[in-house]
Structure 1
Amino acid sequence: MKGVPMLQMTVAMAIFGSIGFFTGKTGIPAAELVFVRCICATLFLGLCWLVAGQHKVEVWRKREVIQTIVCGVFLVLNWVFLFKAFEEMSITVAITLYNLAPIFVLIIGSVVLKERMTVPSLLAIVTCFLGSILIIGIQNVTSFTDFVGSGFVWAILSAVCYAMTMLIGKGITGLSAYAMTFVQTAIGIVMLWPFMNFTEFIGLTDSNWLYIIGTGLIHTGFVYYLFFNSLRKLSTVVISALVFVDPVVAILLDVLILDFQPSGLQTGGILLIFGGIVYTIVKQEKEVVSSD
């Protein structure tokens, strides 16, 4: 029965989509928020892992453990850069640029892994590049400082790190999803601990703490439980479609609650980017089906 997994994935993506709204209400910087998120995910998913008894049957291969650790580094950097982007620009713009990850998978695969770049893939990349120029409002950027301060760099870095997470994680088949995430978020705690400014947590309001705990337990622990519980029961085509619930919810919240009003050029850029991404995903699915 596919109905329950589809509902779980849809709910997970919808909650993911609200993370930008929550982030802005926490009152703490990106690195500190990701640190809390890693702690919550490690405890929550570690408990699920133990209760399900999956830890007893894990197959630990040295190569996969190393891959998982490297994946964890990129996953944590991806979160930090995304939250930094939320601090500097609207959620709509940040989340749109973040969803360029599949395009970066194509580019990195072509450059590093020497995978063949087709004309349609190149067309999708050019389309998304043009969309990025429009969405950032390049005409308003008069210096390199303005460019960096716009948040564009953070959003692009988050997309690149997400792409690296996808590429490196593709070869991990022995470890369960719970084991992978437990290792990755535990790595995040170790990575971020030396850089933590714990004074950022002093003087926070009850509302701040509510959003912080919500981001940790709901957006990380609970959401990843739903995500992993449904992931292996759905086809790649269905997952690719449902993933777009995330940016749709993010953009709706930004426009309806935070009153973000994209300009005509930004709207055009958003449409170009998502058009290129949808085309890329559909094209990849057709290639997979035809090769089977």
Structure 2
Amino acid sequence: MNISAIIKLTVSMALFGSIGFFTVHTGVPATELVFVRCICATLFLGGMWLITGGHKSEVWDKKEILQTIICGVFIVLNWVFLFKAFEEMSISIAISIYNLAPIFVLILGAIFLKEKMTIQALVATITCFIGSIFIIGLQNFVSFSEFMQSGFVWALLSAVFYALTMLTSKTITKLSSYALTYIQTTVGIVMLLPFIDFALFDGLTSTNWFYILGTGFIHTGFVYYLFFDSIRSLSTILVSVLVFVDPVVAILLDMLLLDFMPSIVQTMGILLIFGGIFYTIYVPKKKRLPQEVS
């Protein structure tokens, strides 16, 4: 067991869990925040890439570069939609819906990659769907306008594009993690530049800039460095379990620092979603383990 890698991944997930708290204090809309985040991450990860000398041993494959650019579009849209969800709903609710991504990976994999949808996966999907309804509140499904203003759509889209990011990057094997992320964040800069209102940065306080730069250098640059540096030394099951540190920290910070208190129904929804995700990722693999060993 690689203790150093476990600590790095745990720290990266704990730090990422605070991104919602940072976001609500930046004072800028989602698109502008993601733009600055991409700039900071490109500088940080590009610098690390050069310092470690990884750029000298890169294997540049045209197909993988194109695939990485598409993946970059998906991950940038994932960030924008997640931050827009933070603007409309509590961090806990947004993060809970956002973490439906593994379920969407199963669904999209079954549709586009012809992967088999097991009974366990179907049960988990239905469980998570019911949980999402509990979280957003049945009353918001009565009026279409209230439903659209709830932030549920943004959170759901962020989960879908996170799933697309995972599926797209699944077969990228030749590019290093630094090259992969550097290309993705550079795509984000180019992609968002035409939509940025630079006037929104006028009048920001030093506190605003602290949180803005924190989302870039800490939550994207440093966290991605720790994440990519650790996952290659850990088993898939261990990684799948440790990523739950992210939503737990996010929900705790939302409750302790932003005074969010979920209702009984919302609490049930959160438990259903994470129960379904945990079952999808961990339990079926645990059941298969004895067969694989033998």
Q: Which residue of 1 aligns with 2:144?
A: 144
Corresponding residue of 2:228: 228
Q: Using the TM superposition, give the Cα deviation of residue 145 of structure 1 relative to its aligned residue in structure 2, in angstroms.
A: 1.3
Shift of 1:285: 3.1
Alignment of 1:119-198 (within 5 A): 119-198=119-198
Distance of 2:114 and 2:283 partners within structure 1: 19
Q: What aligned pairs does 1:34-45 form with structure 2 within 5 A after superposition?
A: 34-45=34-45
Structure 1 residue 288, shift from structure 2 partner: 7.3
Letter in 2 for 1:228: F
Q: Which whole-Å deviations, capped at 9, do the CAs of 1:14-72 have from their partners, x for residues lacking one? A: 00000000000000000000000000010100010011111111111111111111110
Residue type of the alignment partner of 1:177: S
Aligned counterparts of 2:232 and 2:34: Cα–Cα separation in 1 = 26
Aligned partners of 1:97 and 1:291: how far apart in 2?
A: 33
AA matched with 2:272: L
Give the Cα–Cα distance (whole angstroms) in 2 for the partners of residues 262 and 60 of structure 1: 48
- Looking at structure 2, the residues matched to 155 and 74 of structure 1 have their Cα atoms a distance apart, in angstroms, of 14
Q: Deviations over 1:74-110 (max 9, x none)?
A: 0000000000000000000000000000000011011
Deviates more, 1:107-116 or 1:147-156: 107-116
The structural deviation recorded for 1:277 is: 0.1
Distance in 2 of aligned mates of 1:178 and 1:140:
42
Structure-1 separation of matches of 2:156 and 2:171? 24
Q: CA deviation at 1:287?
A: 7.6
Letter of the 2:191 counterpart: M
Q: How far 1:115 moved relative to its partner?
A: 1.2
CA contact (8 A) 2:128 2:276 kept: yes
Q: How does 1:37-116 map to 2 (within 5 A)?
A: 37-116=37-116
CA distance in 2, matches of 1:36, 1:262: 32
Aligned letter for 2:74?
A: F
**CA shift in 2, pair 1:146/1:228, >3 Å:** same
Q: Distance in 2 between matches of 1:108 and 1:7?
A: 32
Q: Are the aligned partners of 2:92 and 2:250 in contact in 1 as well (CA < 8 Å)?
A: yes
Distance 1:284 1:138 in 2: 31
Code of the residue aligned with 1:100 in structure 2: it is L
Q: State the Cα distance separating 1:283 from its structure 2 match.
A: 4.2
In 2, distance between residues paired with 1:84 and 1:138?
22
Q: Secondary structure at the match of 2:173?
A: coil
Give SS of 2:282's match. Answer: helix
Q: TM-score, normalised by structure 1?
A: 0.97
Aligned with 2:24: secondary structure? Answer: helix
The equivalent of 1:118 in structure 2 is: 118
What's the TM-score, normalizing by structure 2?
0.97
Shift of 1:185: 0.3
Shift of 1:291: 5.5
Quote the sequence identity (%). 66
Q: 1:26 is aligned with what amino acid?
A: T
Cα offset, 1:208, TM superposition: 0.5
Bigger drift between 98-107 and 114-123 goes to: 114-123
| CA drift at 1:73 | 0.4
- In structure 1, how many angstroms separate the alpha carbons of the residues matched to 2:261 and 2:201? 32
How many aligned positions are there? Answer: 292
Alpha-carbon separation, structure 2, partners of 1:284 and 1:214: 38
Whether the 8 Å CA contact 2:68–2:184 is kept in 1: the answer is yes
Counterpart-to-counterpart distance in 1, 2:288 and 2:28? 43
CA RMSD of aligned residues (A): 1.3
Tell me whether 109-118 or 244-253 shows the greater mean CA deviation.
109-118
Q: Counterparts of 1:225 and 1:203 in 2: how far apart (Å)?
A: 32
Shift in Å at residue 286 of structure 1?
Answer: 4.1
* 1:125 partner letter: T
Letter in 1 for 2:220: T
Tell me how far apart the structure 2 counterparts of residues 253 and 147 of structure 1 sit (CA, whole Å): 26
Partner of 1:272: 272
Structure-2 change in CA distance of 1:288 and 1:35 (3 Å):
farther
1:108-158 per-position Cα deviation (integer Å, ceiling 9, x unaligned): 011111111111111000000000110001224432111111000000000
Q: Which residue of 2 aligns with 1:4?
A: 4
Residue 163 of structure 1 aligns to a residue in which SS? helix
* 5+ long unaligned stretches in structure 1: none
